[in-house]
Amino acid sequence: MPTFDRSIAAILLILVASLPACQSAARRESVSGLTQNVTDQYLELREQMVETQIESRGISDDSVVLAMRRVPRHLFVPEDLIDQAYEDTPLPIGFGQTISQPYIVALMTESLKIKPGQRILEIGTGSGYQAAILAEMSVDVYTIEVIPELAAQAADQLNNLGYTNIHTLTADGYFGWEEYAPFDAIIVTAAPDHLPQPLANQLGEGGRLVIPIGPVGFTQTLWLFEEEDGELSATNLGGVRFVPLTGEH
């Protein structure tokens, strides 16, 4: 009998210890009005997205792939577009903004070569999806959105999903977030027509900056800038099309 009691106690301790993780997982996979069956459907769609859109196109960083598998993209699109959340395309999120195509999110994230514990600056919070992907990689995310309504919506959603390592700011992203600079990496999800000097200045030693640059309404070029000894080298990552970077600049 004493052995039986100890076994029961051990089982109870394991169950109690697992509750926070279970609750966290449930919170990250829940959305108002959706049933568990629908959530399971999205899990399958997310796996298909990763296999057919991400891995098949050469994204191989395990931490990026895992983050793309974890983050429920359907929670970051308008309700009337939820059925399209895992398709191979950007989607409108209101105010003339979009959530980027999944592959582009993965490509830009992988290009940063993120390591746990780093400090990452994101310009253009949008719906908050890119910030969530970054946060899943065990880094501190500082994200800026110039449109107050989008900034508030994204902050609420990220908070509801339990992300404590994401810091949000409503401001003109062109000028970065000098208070927390330097950053190990910077990602810009809207296109200016030149590299903003404040962002270049806030990139730390050995840092990496990914940004689309080009004219509004036309194909832009996705650039990777790498800092070394005070100099920036540039690598062309290909043609893309982003909404313009807006603000006082």
Cβ-based neighbours of 89, under 8 Å, separated by 6 or more:
101
Q: Which long-range contacts (CB under 8 A, 24 or more apart) does 52-55 make?
A: 52/88, 53/88, 53/102, 53/103, 54/102, 54/103, 54/106
Q: Measured in whole angstroms, how far is the alpha carbon of residue 168 from the centre of its chain?
A: 13
The answer to whether the CB of 174 falls within 8 A of the CB of 192 is yes
Instruction: Output Rg (C-alpha) for the chain, integer angstroms.
Output: 20
DSSP letter string over 74-141? GGGS-GGGGGGTTSSS-EEEETTEEEPPHHHHHHHHHHT---TT-EEEEE--TTSHHHHHHHTTS-EE
Q: How many CB atoms lie within 10 A of CB 138?
A: 14
Q: Which of 100, 127, 138, 233 is catalytic?
A: 100
Residues in the chain: 249
100 is catalytic: yes
Three-class DSSP category at 238: strand
The answer to whether the CB of 212 falls within 8 A of the CB of 191 is yes
Amino acid at 11: I
Annotated catalytic residues are 100
